[in-house]
Structure 1
Amino acid sequence: MRQLIWKTLLLFLLILSGASAAADIDRIHLPAVKAERVRPLVAIVADNVGTETTDLVVPYGVLKSADIADIVIVSAQAGTINRMPALAIESDMTMETFDKVYPAGADVLIVPAMHDNRSDVVINWVQEQARKRAFVTAICEGAWIVARAGILQGRGATTHWYAFHSIARQFPKTRWIRGRRYVVDHNIMTTTGVTASIPASLALVEAMAGCAKARATATELGIENWTSAHVSAPFRLTVGRAGLVARNYLAFWKHETLSIPITEGFDEIALALSADAWSRTYRSQAIAISGNNRVKSRHGLVLVPDKEKDTGYVELFFDQKAASSRFLDTTLEMIAARYGNETADLVALQLEYARGE
């Protein structure tokens, strides 16, 4: 009888500890801010050849909105950063300059998806920042860069649904996890598809400045929660979806260039979500237009417009007053009205976003 009581007690303690661990599993524990800094230094790394639009802009916009850290966009080379699938921006400094100005390295490093995820320059720099004790956040397929830097071995991680099986095959020493928007394992956070950048960025805000600050920032952006909860199963490429891609792509006579008018102080998150979505229909490409050759966003991001005004392209509606995060829902509704619900669903699939969330 006594043995049965002890076994029951042990089982209860195991269940309790498991529940406690589950509650804390995606909690970020940031290292102390490096010496002589008043607040964290966040570096967002970018490759000039091509860096995913939303992966870069959303963390920048969310952290800038919270105003709790110093944010620096760091590029491999001087000059414009071309973003995928749309827009172009200027970086704040090159990797070489960053290393001179901040020899101790970043406190937090954000790694978006990049066109060339085998760039030795980028991979080596990410590896060096991790060695200098930066908390590393890989957004979407930025996981390829982080994995190739060797810092995911033995860790739990996730990535965009489309790359999941490929990256798992190439890096079997990482525990690849489905069903979570973001995964935190010690000093590394990885996320699922493009739109996971929003809850992941708010999780960083909470880690830096507490839940109240994260809640206030989320409310400003129109976000209800930033938990890691995520249903992965619906995100997959079916025969029907592949057929739609082919039909939209091959109907080249129906392809359109759509212009988004930009003025000084534009909302960078809203623009990124809109341009990103419209450029994934396989029927349209979004471009930014302005009367100036450089335009600053609400929080200081420098955009390089594609064209000056009066291009003759179809002009898209861009409401600067709409809540940043909700702009994606508005854009998907506009895509559905223009190209049909199937195409809007295809765009949401690529962004790993459940319409109506």
Structure 2
Amino acid sequence: MSYSTQLSTYIDGWLNTFIEPADQSCDKPILNWNQMPTPPTSEITRSPKRPRYQDAQEEETPRPRARSRYDCVPDDVFKDQAPTGPSFRFALPTRPFSNAPSLPPSSSASGTSRSSSPVKRSTLGLLSKPIHFVAMKRLHLPKHIHKTYDAIFSIVNNIGFIPSGVRQQLEDNDEDVLDQWFFNGEGEDVLKEFTELKEIQAEAAAVQVEEASEGTWNLEVHGPLLKLAFKPFSRLRRKLLTHASISKPFIPSTSESSYYPTTKTKMIDWGISISPPETTAEHISRMINSLPVSQRSINQTVYGPVRNTPVAIPIEIKIASGSLEEARGQLGLWIAAWYTRMNALKSCNEGMIAMPMIIVMEHEWKLLFAVDRGDSIVSATI
């Protein structure tokens, strides 16, 4: 069975954890995700920014909106100063290219593209289902993804992340190399990908010297890089989500009397979406088209490009002027809204799958897994 066929099978299984065909019951066998095929390793990436746009959430019966007492909040929880503690993490290697350009990912803090009061971890702790960020340990993850975690852990530790077919090119360019970096990979496709990566690297160096905007980084560097990374997988696509605000019905609630302004439901930069098989796509379409306008999406946003295609991996980008705290806040709010949306769709009481997320801080790519603990969500960072 080809890798694409295996991947399609697992994608269908993932979708069916919360979208039940009409003729199926909840008593279905649990998929063995431990056998999920591991995709070929690829080069390391960098990332960008976004313009601000707040999608209008349509109401079933439009009416003038009265000013709410929440529109102006003296003690805005978004302004809470949350303490930031050290977190154990691995930085993906920047080898094999020496003198690689520093790729500033996009910030959410320039001009009018973002609100001046970022989401803090203290806000995430006020949610009805709070989110906690912790250092990654294998025990934090469900057993069915331990095999995937082990493969990622090897790459993070610089083991087998470069195809051997480009080793000669690296040595010819006087790059430092170690035997442990390489895995068996030959052929014209490998050399072509290497050439494309070098071109993106050169473009990144140029826009950095120009002090280009985050939009330029998205257009010239991060967009092409993500497209190249997912080129072998026809059903996976990178989507720019800088305009994808969280729909009001899925904005996560807070505990007790706590609240936050819904205008500050931050957007993320990118999302990796799944194009389901035709029969599953038709089922999704029928299901969401019967819902109110503000809920007509498989995701927690009614933004058109991802209305019918599940976003499997959200990505948040920051440059030097941004902060890890803000990135966590934005991803945390996004994932809390995702859990709210998925719970509304589920026809079974089965627990949620672990949700991968990515934060990019300059050269460091951080992989996180959001894991449902019942009364809270733990986000573990590799």
Same fold judged by TM-score > 0.5?
A: no
Q: Which has the higher strand share?
A: 1
Q: Scaled by the length of structure 2, what TM-score is found?
A: 0.23
Q: Scaled by the length of structure 1, what TM-score is found?
A: 0.24
Higher relative contact order (CA 8 A, sep 6+): 2
